[in-house]
């Protein structure tokens, strides 16, 4: 199996955010949670627990976003 981009999830204090997702995305989040559990040997997490780490990883890997944030701090 291919190594997933997310590793074990950190337990962090959440901020409530409500979003609507297409059913297909929700199904994919459930499948991803199962794959992550199988890879890490842990229990499957709720799909909503995956959204924050996925968004964080996506933004950290977006070079334009990172450059823009760095430029805004200068």
Q: Summarize the confidence of residues 52-73 as an average pLDDT.
A: 86
| Three-class secondary structure of residue 11 per DSSP | coil
Rounded to two decimals, the pTM is 0.70
In whole angstroms, give the CA distance from residue 36 to residue 38. 5
Q: Where are the beta strands (DSSP E) in the chain?
A: none
- Please answer whether residues 57 and 4 qualify as being in contact, where contact means their C-beta atoms are separated by less than 8 angstroms: no
Residue in 22, 17, 23 with CA at minimum distance from that of residue 49: 17
Q: For 4-34, what is each residue's pLDDT tens digit?
A: 777 777 777 777 889 999 999 999 999 999 9
Cα–Cα distances (Å) from 42 to 37, 52, 74, in that order, read: 5, 19, 42
Instruction: Return the percentage of the chain with pLDDT > 70, whole number.
Output: 95
Instruction: Please report the pLDDT score of residue 27 as a whole number.
Output: 96
* pLDDT of 66 strictly over 90: no
């Amino acid at each position: 199996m291919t190594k997933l981009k997310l590793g074990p999830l950190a337990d962090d204090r959440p901020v409530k955010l409500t979003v609507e997702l297409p059913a297909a995305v929700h199904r994919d989040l459930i499948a991803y949670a199962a794959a992550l559990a199988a890879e890490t040997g842990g229990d499957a997490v709720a799909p909503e627990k995956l959204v924050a780490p996925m968004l964080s990883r996506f933004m950290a890997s977006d070079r334009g976003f990172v450059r823009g944030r760095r430029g805004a701090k200068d």
